[in-house]
A and B are shown apart, each in its own frame.
Chain A
């Protein structure tokens, strides 16, 4: 079935590094993708909506210049954490709605997440 591939699954890097996370829909087109962040023992918080061919829509309190989102094709969205610091350490998950499954029991596909650790 249709899946969303998220890469990398785990990143450890030094403070000040920029980190890029990819979210790819493998056998369906995703004009919209969502990026979530999850801190330990907390729920998922929506960060932004990635729109193919246009600017992303950010949720209140999320810094646009800190979390750069690019959705240049119908199958790929990227989230870049710029100049990452320890407080950016978190679990990042993307999701993509599958328009063909809108009325099914699983209208969205989730990536497996990226665990980001900033030293």
Chain B
């Protein structure tokens, strides 16, 4: 059974810091891996998607890497801002559509 774990569970940092969020999964047979952002009481916003054949994806201040063989992904946030405060979820797809979500990292960036 696929299990997805995220470390740390919570993170509080001052504005401007560069951050690394970690995601690990137990079964390397994945279709893709996605990183999402969730604001309190809200739905999900897709940030980055990495296909199983890819190593990384970048969007603005965000960079996500994937090492499928070791079952790891990292989300790098450069120059963090208070507006980045949210819960970040990684999710793996064992097939084309189904998602298995990680435990989440709650990020707070204070001014």
Residues on A lying within 8 angstroms of B by beta carbon are 6, 32, 34, 36, 41-46, 49, 91, 93, 95, 97, 102, 104-108, 110-113, 115
Contact = CB atoms under 8 A, between A and B. Distances in A.
B43 A32 contact: no
Contacts of B48: 105
B46 A43 contact: no
Nearest to A112: B43
A44 to B, nearest CB: 4
B99 A108 contact: yes
Contacts of A41: 106
Given A32-B97, A106-B49, A113 B42 contact: yes
Interface string B70-111: 000000000000000000010100001111111110100000
Most chain B C-beta atoms within 10 Å of own C-beta, residue among A42, A97, A110, A112: A110
Contact of B96 (A43, A102, A104): A102
B60 interface: no
Given A97-B96, A102-B96, A106-B49, A43 B101 contact: yes
Interface residues of B, number: 20
Contacts of A104: 49
Contact of B101 (A44, A106, A107, A112): A44
A34 B102 contact: no
Contacts of A111: 43
A46 B42 contact: no
Contacts of A36: 101
7 contacts: A49-B98, A93-B44, A97-B96, A107-B97, A108-B46, A108-B97, A113-B43
A95 B99 contact: yes
Contacts of A49: 98
Interface in B37-74: 41-44, 46, 48-49, 57
A36 B100 CA distance: 10
A16 B39 CA distance: 31
A90 to B, nearest CB: 12
Contacts of B99: 34, 44, 46, 95, 108
